Amino acid sequence: MVVVSQQARAPGCADLKDFLACPMEITRGEFAKALPGILANLEACDFCTVDAEFTGFTTESAQSSHFDSLDDRYAKHRTTAQTYQICQLGLCPFIYHPDTGEYTAHPYNFYVFPRRGATSNDPIGATFAVQATSLEFLRQQNFDLNRWVWHGIGYMTREEEGNRERTQVLADIHVDPPGQAFLDRAHQSIQDWLHHAPGAPTEKYLNLTTSNGYQKRLVFQHVRQRYPDVLDATGMHGFVQIRRKGPGKDKKKIKQEQCKKLYQEWMVKDVGLRSLLDVLVASKKPLVGHNMILDILFIHNTFHSSRPLPSHRSDFIREFHSLHPILFDTKWLAEEADIPWTMGLEDTSIQTLMTTSPRSTISSVQLAPGFDLYQGREKMHEAGYDAYATGLIFLDLIQPLLSSSPFPLFPVNQGYVQIPRPLQAHLNHLYMIKLGSIPFFLGSDEKFKEMEAQIPRREEKENVLLLTLPPGSRIDLRAIQWAISDLGPGVTIQAAGEDRWWVAPVNHSGSGVLTVERLQEVVARDGTLPVYVFKEDLWGTVLATLPPVKREMSSASPSH
């Protein structure tokens, strides 16, 4: 059994029983009040599902291809995550109750908007792109754009929070020779005043004349360092006034504590949604998503990363794995785990899996009291609902993999999260559209190297062919597309050079699979392609050669 260490309990979280259920859709005005209950639920959960909606999904240069390597795909998704913005985040902690043997689901839906905080010095605010088709799609799913902008919750990354905290502490300044001479005279004046007339009514304060702001800073710094419990310094016009700390110091301390508390409240508000991710990071709770590669890239870029995202895939994996070491992707499980009820499905979207699931979850799931907005109601593409649905699907998907029903699924033993052995083969395997059974693996360095050694090169992938023309021959892309058009829309082509094209199917199963023999039949029957078809392995072996055929290609041939 794999085990993952838990960190100490996050500060500020009380016992779950101390909190009433929070509304499932949380806006900016409700966030501070609802935060303790949300944190408690996240701490108490067995696992947490996650989903996000974005202001855009791809750019022209970042579209996925069957011929992408994992590094290619990471670079494309990285561009997307750094171009667009999370606009809605769904989190659904699933809490197991041993007394009833049931799970309760607590789906939360958050609108996310990168607003400037009350203590921010940023005069401009965040800049991000919006894809018109994405907003149109979200509006079709009843996404409220006004609610997003006016009531969306803000956030800060750890780096931004650290910078904010550092600006609250007045740093010591360098003392140059003239400044040191001034400081020596000021120090002597303070000493004379302290020892010559302690407590005398006419000597209740000492005014030190300063000619500029630099000298004032030197006096403040000197008093803070040398007399922290004895003297107070107050800046005046042209001088700094020094006073003894007396009975009034308690009032000043109270005021300082009030300011500190107010600042901390501001910080909680500005840290915002990242405080929820911090709890999941500290507890190392398993995260479950559906087709979640973009979700985690956006989450990392928004809440965790010191921007920009790492350039290299291995660096990103190392960073993210250190924060969230336990991931399960229900898209990967549905496609690759040989689960009986998903076999033969042409579509493994959340909506399809929800309608085809046998609903025989290994433990019954109830929506927690007050979280009944999704009871009997489908709200596809709302992040909170998709996160909730992902959890139900996850429990159904893993049932055939488990010989028994261990509850909770991920028990914590002496600070370590334990993972059932049957699930370990799918741990941290994320599904990659158009790459089939090649996962985006987000595990430890040692396991990462092991997985990398098993990934085939592009020219070694099953059903990826390379069309090559004889020297001196010319043919356009449309001709190749027409020649294999009867294979349907499941075939994609990408230029590999002036006389070379990669050819691959969209689906890696079923009758539409492209093979050398299949392509040979199509070309021989329907086209005049004097091409050599081969699967290029390490030695570039030619597996089949197609001679020219006699029939001429019509100029009215369709293009795809």
For domain 2-155+272-334+359-418, the CATH superfamily is: Ribonuclease H-like superfamily/Ribonuclease H (3.30.420.10)
User: Do 2-155+272-334+359-418 and 458-545 agree at the fold level?
Assistant: no
Least confident stretch, 180-194, 232-246, 404-418, 522-536: 522-536
**Most trustworthy range by pLDDT among 248-257, 357-366, 367-376, 522-531:** 367-376
User: What percent of the chain clears pLDDT 90, i.e. is strictly above it?
Assistant: 32
- Backbone conformation region of residue 540, classed left if phi is above 0, alpha if psi is from -120 to 50, else beta: left
Topology adopted by domain 458-545:
Alpha-Beta Plaits (3.30.70)
pLDDT tens column, 3-21: 555 544 333 333 444 333 4
Please give the backbone phi and psi of residue 469, each rounded to the nearest 5 degrees, phi first.
-85, 150
Amino acid occupying residue 36: P
Rounded to whole angstroms, what are the CA distances from 409 to 90, 422, 423, 523?
21, 11, 10, 53
pTM above 0.85, yes or no: no
Which residues, at least 6 apart from 549, have a Cβ–Cβ distance to it below 8 Å? 523, 524, 527, 528, 529
**Does residue 219 have a pLDDT over 70?**
yes
Q: Is the pLDDT of residue 435 over 50?
A: yes
Q: What is the pLDDT of residue 444?
A: 80
Residue 544 scores a pLDDT above 50 = no
Measured CA to CA, the distance from residue 396 to residue 352 in angstroms comes to: 13
319-354 pLDDT, tens digit per residue, is 999 999 999 999 999 999 989 899 888 889 999 999
pLDDT in tens, 107-152: 999 999 987 653 344 545 678 899 999 999 999 999 999 999 999 9
Average confidence score pLDDT of the chain: 75
Residue 434: is its pLDDT beyond 80?
A: no
Cα torsion 421, 427, 432, 436 to 10°: value is -20
More confident residue, 269 or 37: 37
User: What tokens does 424 get?
Assistant: 């370990």
Task: Give the span between the Cα atoms of 442 and 316, in whole angstroms.
Answer: 9
Q: Is the pLDDT of residue 62 over 80?
A: no
CATH number for the segment(s) 177-247: 3.30.1370.50
Distances (CA, A) of 46 to 36, 94, 291, 387, 415: 18, 6, 21, 15, 14
Query: How many degrees, rounded to 5, is the angle at CA 155 between CA 153 and CA 156?
Result: 170
- What pLDDT is attached to residue 467? 59
Instruction: Give pLDDT, residue 470.
Output: 52
Name the strand (E) or helix (H) holding 225.
helix 213-226
Positive or negative: CA dihedral 44, 50, 55, 60: positive
Query: Strand 287-289 and strand 47-54: pairing?
Result: parallel
- Domain boundaries, given as residue ranges, for the chain: 2-155+272-334+359-418, 177-247, 458-545
The mean pLDDT value for 406-429 works out to 87
